[in-house]
């Protein structure tokens, strides 16, 4: 597991002390000629402006999400401490997260799984046991009791935060053995005795069965749920007391992170969303943006932007920022793209702050990883980027310049919000560039504080900005 490099940040800070910072921009002919090398690439989305971010409510001091915007916290990591305290741990964080501008939290699978108090929830047995039945060796789940979960959701809602449930509906685990006429063997597919008494199922509800030998994909040898079976559809998303509607209407979850959506058809999520509602995002682990976009459209759901994730890894760790010109889900449809730097399954990007500076200034729905925020990275820097996202990152995107070491992009602003210019520098020295902004004859500043320049744009909106080594700067109107 990669750790942030403290030496980079120390070096950048020392370099900043000695940087010569002028407040008056040059207007020489040769400087303007230098600027002509920039190729502006407009990233458009059917002409629709994208307003991303949360607006601060003056009456409550909390953050309320706007259409198409927000910041999500993945509120767990793999193998969080066992012992039933995780829901309480997260509860102690949500007020600070809300005040920082985080508008939603994504929780791990909340119901009882085969490994009971030791399970991370991805081997589900009883979808209605939230830690209140003596089942699979424990009453509580790894994360705590049902009461503690309800208290967490309630507290998050008082902070104007949404709560998303991780839903594992591809496979089940922990059933009893039964004779299976479709396989001619015994299979572990008898879930008629689950402690909650809800969603009883047997071999008819798993592949292979009368509907066929398989669907899109099985996982890990677990019994593979058959979503074509009426009993499965009824209990997952059709019944008023089924999984989806119970989670939404009784437990008060606001949305869904669907696990391993490669394992079943996109129509399943589409039907769930049509019948249950709420925000949804699918884990479709594929770097092909066409695959991501097709699934998102067919499922009527957001999808994690793995195309962006792998491009960032190659760009920032491979010293080729020009790769950020390539296609990504957020460029195809920012309203259905959930961007991220790491998660509980994969942690490949080393230059994490550069990656966060990218997703928190660009379109899409950015996700912060718990350990990055609480343990591994500089929380004040992340809070600053979250503030920038919520207050400045509006409008469509124009990529202004990119090469191996430098990347500059402009958010074009929307509905009175001025937008921003982000400058990412992956080299070992300070860099400067002339760029065209959204603003004429206007003083701007770097809202990260990494640069102390306060330049004024020219009448034609051009200005020279700078960026620290292995760092970033984010420029907007000085107001």
- Fold classification of 50-404 is TIM Barrel (3.20.20)
By C-alpha distance, which of 73, 92, 120 is closest to 370? 73
Distances from the Cα of 103 to the Cα of 252, 254, 341, 352, 439, angstroms: 16, 12, 18, 21, 30
Burial of 195 (0-12, 13-18, 19+ CB in 10 A): middle
Residues annotated within the binding site are 170, 405
Inter-residue contact 352 to 382 (CB < 8 Å): no
| Residues ≥6 apart with Cβ < 8 Å to 263 | 170, 171, 215, 216, 217, 218, 219, 224
pLDDT in single tens digits along all 479 residues of the chain: 333 333 333 333 333 333 333 333 333 323 333 333 334 444 444 333 343 333 333 233 344 444 335 899 999 999 999 999 999 999 999 999 999 999 999 999 999 999 999 999 999 999 999 999 999 999 999 999 999 999 999 999 999 999 999 999 999 999 999 999 999 999 999 999 999 999 999 999 999 999 999 999 888 889 999 999 999 999 999 999 999 999 999 999 999 999 999 999 999 999 999 999 999 999 999 999 999 999 999 999 999 999 999 999 999 999 999 999 999 999 999 999 999 999 999 999 999 999 999 999 999 999 999 999 999 999 999 999 999 999 999 999 999 999 999 999 999 999 889 999 999 999 999 999 999 999 999 999 999 999 999 999 999 999 999 999 999 999 999 98
Q: Which residue has the tokens 């502006």?
A: 40
CA 124 to mean position of chain CA atoms: 23
For 198-249, give the DSSP string. Answer: -S---GGGEESBTTBS--S---TT--EE-TTSHHHHIIIIISTTSHHHIIII
Specify the pLDDT at position 48: 36
Rounded Cα gap, residues 26 and 86, in angstroms:
55
Whether 283 is catalytic: yes
| Residues ≥6 apart with Cβ < 8 Å to 395 | 49, 50, 51, 411, 412, 413, 414, 417, 419
CA 226 to mean position of chain CA atoms: 28
Specify the pLDDT at position 61: 36
Rounded Cα gap, residues 338 and 374, in angstroms:
21
Specify the pLDDT at position 63: 45
Predicted confidence (pLDDT) per residue in 241-273, tens digit: 999 999 999 999 999 999 999 999 999 999 999
Rounded Cα gap, residues 70 and 54, in angstroms:
6
Rounded Cα gap, residues 133 and 200, in angstroms:
16
CA 100 to mean position of chain CA atoms: 16
Specify the pLDDT at position 366: 96
Specify the pLDDT at position 70: 83
Whether 363 is catalytic: no
Specify the pLDDT at position 69: 59
Specify the pLDDT at position 465: 98
Residues annotated within the binding site for Ca(2+) are 170, 405
Which of 34, 283, 317, 378 is catalytic? The answer is 283
Name the helix (H) or strand (E) containing 402. Answer: strand 397-402
By C-alpha distance, which of 282, 340, 309, 304 is closest to 73? 340
What is the three-class DSSP state of 384? helix
Question: Where along the chain do its domains lie?
Answer: 50-404
Inter-residue contact 263 to 219 (CB < 8 Å): yes
Q: Which residue has the tokens 């979250």?
A: 386
């Amino acid at each position: 597991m990669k750790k942030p490099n403290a030496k980079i940040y120390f070096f950048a800070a020392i370099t900043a002390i000695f940087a010569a910072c002028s407040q008056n921009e040059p207007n020489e002919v040769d400087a303007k000629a230098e600027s002509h090398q920039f190729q502006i690439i407009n990233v458009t989305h059917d002409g629709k402006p994208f307003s991303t971010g949360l607006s601060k409510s003056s009456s409550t001091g909390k953050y309320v999400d706007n259409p198409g915007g927000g910041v999500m916290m993945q509120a767990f990591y793999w193998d969080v401490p066992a012992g039933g305290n995780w829901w309480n741990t997260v509860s102690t964080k949500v007020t600070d997260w809300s005040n920082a501008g985080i508008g939603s939290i994504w929780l791990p699978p909340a119901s009882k799984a085969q490994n009971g108090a030791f399970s991370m929830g991805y081997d589900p047995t009883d979808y209605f046991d939230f830690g209140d039945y003596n089942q699979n060796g424990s009453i509580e789940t790894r994360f705590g009791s049902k009461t503690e979960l309800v208290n967490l959701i309630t507290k998050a809602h008082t902070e104007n935060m949404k709560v998303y449930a991780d839903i594992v509906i591809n496979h089940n685990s922990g059933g009893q053995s039964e004779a299976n006429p479709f396989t001619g063997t015994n299979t572990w597919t008898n879930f008629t005795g689950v402690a909650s008494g809800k969603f009883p199922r047997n071999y008819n509800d798993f592949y292979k069965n009368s509907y066929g030998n398989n669907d899109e994909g099985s996982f890990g040898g677990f019994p593979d749920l058959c979503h074509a079976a009426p009993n499965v559809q009824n209990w997952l998303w059709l019944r008023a007391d089924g999984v989806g509607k119970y989670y939404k209407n009784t437990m008060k979850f606001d949305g869904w992170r669907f696990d391993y959506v490669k394992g079943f058809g996109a129509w399943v999520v589409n039907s769930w969303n049509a019948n249950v509602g709420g925000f949804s995002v699918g884990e479709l682990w594929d770097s092909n943006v066409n695959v991501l976009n097709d699934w998102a459209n067919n499922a009527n759901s957001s999808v994690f932007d793995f195309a962006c994730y792998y491009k960032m890894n190659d760009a920032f760790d491979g010293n080729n920022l020009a790769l950020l010109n390539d296609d990504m889900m957020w460029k195809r449809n920012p309203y259905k793209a959930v961007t991220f730097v790491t998660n509980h399954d994969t942690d490949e990007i080393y230059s994490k702050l550069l990656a966060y500076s990218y997703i928190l200034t660009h379109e899409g729905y950015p996700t912060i990883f718990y350990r990055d925020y609480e343990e591994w990275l500089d929380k004040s820097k992340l809070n600053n980027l979250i503030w920038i996202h919520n207050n400045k990152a509006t409008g469509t995107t124009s990529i202004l310049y990119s090469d191996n070491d430098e990347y500059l992009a402009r958010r074009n602003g929307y509905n009175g919000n001025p937008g921003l210019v982000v400058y990412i520098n992956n080299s070992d020295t300070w860099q400067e560039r002339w760029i065209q902004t959204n603003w004429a004859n206007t003083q701007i500043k770097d809202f990260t504080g990494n640069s102390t320049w306060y330049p004024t744009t020219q009448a034609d909106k051009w200005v020279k900005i700078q960026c620290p080594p292995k760092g970033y700067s984010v420029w907007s109107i000085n107001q």
